[in-house]
Amino acid sequence: MTKHDLVDRLSDGVGLPKPEVQAVVDGFLALVMEAVSSGQRVELRRFGVWKPVNRKGRHLRTPDGIHEIDLPDRPTAVFVPSAEFRQRMGDLEPGQIERA
């Protein structure tokens, strides 16, 4: 599902015009990104948590084995689904999951 699909379905579901729903969705996503990128945790009960984490740096070799690369520590964001979300995912059959 894309953001456009989400806006369409929300607009149909709540009966608001698509431009208004688009503004709400964009505003929500901007707030989540702003909060997480400033080091805050964002929790939506029964859905999940977005939180900032530090990804540990590592030492890599290129596939040919000639060059070595050091990747430094870096900040990133992770999403941790709620127990209810994980349970619903567990109810899926393997054939129901779309390939990216």
Instruction: Quick: pLDDT tens for 1-27.
Output: 999 999 999 999 999 999 999 999 999
Domain 44-92 is found in CATH 4.10.520.10 = yes
Rounded distance between C-alpha atoms, residue 8 and residue 20, angstroms: 11
Q: What is the DSSP letter of 52?
A: E
Task: Kindly report, residue by residue over 29-88, the tens digit of the pLDDT.
Answer: 999 999 999 999 999 999 999 999 999 999 999 888 889 999 999 999 999 999 999 998
Lookup: tokens for 13: 């579901």
